[in-house]
């Protein structure tokens, strides 16, 4: 348990390599800037609120994920050309088309995963993606009887492989 900003700083110094190993084993890429931003975000929060963190590693990893996703969103916004005018669509048609596309991509993706991984890994991945965001690695760990770090490693391996190798063929 970490109960102050100074305790958190000490914990982080002692556990930085462990934190980095967890990050590298997960779905998000390791980013030194995001790591430092996360540390500062938590440190400043503890200075302001005077609260305690029961699981500093889990809390740090959750905040790190949030910082990384914010950076990704920011990069995407920065790459949209300003001179592109938004197009007007019927919302219902777009929503139906997007839902159908999403279901088709999801089915193709799961078929691709089933062809590359063991039944055990596929089951864990399907359970996680089916219950996300209502399930954590810890909850899934309790459901299947594997350590949560192992759950994270399995899901991270599949996600990295999907990002690197899965190609959606819309014309199939």
State the pLDDT confidence band at 85, using cuts at 50, 70 and 90: very low
Q: What share of the chain has pLDDT > 70, as a percent?
A: 80
| pLDDT higher than 90, residue 92 | no
Q: What is the reported pLDDT for 14?
A: 93
Full 3-state SS string of 44-93:
HHHHHHCCCECCHHHHHHHHHHHHHHHHHHHHHHHCCCCCCCCCCCCHHH
pLDDT digits (tens, 9 = 90+) for 98-154: 666 667 777 788 888 888 888 888 888 888 877 777 778 888 888 788 887 888 899
Output the domain CATH number for residue 133.
Answer: 1.10.10
List pLDDT tens digits, range 28-55.
678 888 889 989 998 888 888 877 888 8
Q: Give the residue from 13, 47, 78 where a domain finishes.
A: 78
How many domains does the chain fold into?
A: 2
| Residue 167 pLDDT exceeds 80 | no
Indicate whether 170 pLDDT > 70. Answer: no
For residues 138 and 119, what is the distance between their CA atoms, to the nearest angstrom? 21
């Amino acid at each position: 348990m970490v109960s102050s900003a100074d305790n958190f700083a000490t914990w982080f110094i002692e556990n930085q390599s462990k934190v980095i190993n967890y990050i590298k084993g997960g779905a998000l890429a390791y980013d030194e800037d995001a790591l430092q931003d996360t540390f500062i975000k938590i440190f400043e929060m503890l200075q302001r609120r005077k609260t305690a963190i029961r699981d500093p590693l889990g809390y740090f990893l959750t905040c790190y994920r949030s910082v990384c996703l914010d950076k990704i969103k920011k990069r995407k916004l920065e790459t949209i050309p300003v001179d592109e005018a938004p197009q007007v669509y019927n919302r219902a048609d777009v929503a139906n088309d997007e839902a159908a596309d999403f279901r088709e991509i999801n089915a193709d993706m799961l078929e691709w995963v089933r062809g590359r991984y063991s039944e055990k890994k596929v089951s864990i991945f399907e359970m996680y993606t089916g219950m996300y965001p209502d399930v954590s690695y810890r909850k899934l760990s309790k459901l299947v009887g594997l350590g949560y770090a192992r759950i994270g490693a399995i899901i991270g391996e599949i996600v990295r492989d999907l990002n690197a190798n899965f190609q959606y063929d819309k014309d199939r």
